[in-house]
Amino acid sequence: MAILSNIDIEKEIGLNIAIYPFYKQNLRSASYNLTVSKLAWNLETKQSIYDLNTNKITIVKGSTALIQTNEAVWVSNKVAGTYHSKVGLVSKGLSHIGTTLDPEYIGVSLITVHNYRNRI
């Protein structure tokens, strides 16, 4: 198995990969940056952590959140992948619980994130 470049990913869109909505600016050299939706919950309290007034998600120190992506993804049985955190967020104290994108997956993604530091 090989890592797909941005050129490879673009060639596979519509064949072995579908991302909706697809934003070309989120395509990177060897990845695609999924975006967070307003659907986010504190794992312990089961309460929403999205603030309508500020249009932000707040993960309090020491808590774990579940955050749904805006994008729905489909991959064929020829494609698999992994989810990785952005370095800028990790350096602020966030750590995600890594997972895989299995072949033949279809749907939005639910990302688990833990805040080891202050409010983010």
pLDDT tens for the chain, residues 1 to 120: 689 999 999 999 999 999 999 999 999 999 999 999 999 999 999 999 999 999 999 999 999 999 999 999 999 999 999 998 877 777 777 887 778 999 999 999 999 999 988 655
Asked if residues 120 and 93 have their Cβ atoms less than 8 Å apart, the reply is yes
**Phi/psi at 74 (nearest 5 deg)?**
-130, 135
| Residue 58 lies inside a defined structural domain of this protein | yes
Query: Could you tell me the pTM of the whole model?
Result: 0.87
**What would the two tokens of residue 13 be?**
């869109």
Indicate the average pLDDT of the chain.
Answer: 92
| Residue 46 lies inside a defined structural domain of this protein | yes
Domain membership of residue 87 as a residue range: 36-115
User: What DSSP state is assigned to residue 118?
Assistant: S
| Residue 87 lies inside a defined structural domain of this protein | yes
What confidence score (pLDDT) does residue 61 get?
92
Q: Looking at the 3D structure of the chain, how many domains does it have?
A: 1
Distance CA 4, CA 34 (A): 16
| Residue 29 lies inside a defined structural domain of this protein | no
| Residue 23 lies inside a defined structural domain of this protein | no
| Residue 2 lies inside a defined structural domain of this protein | no
Distance CA 22, CA 69 (A): 12
| Residue 5 lies inside a defined structural domain of this protein | no
| Residue 31 lies inside a defined structural domain of this protein | no
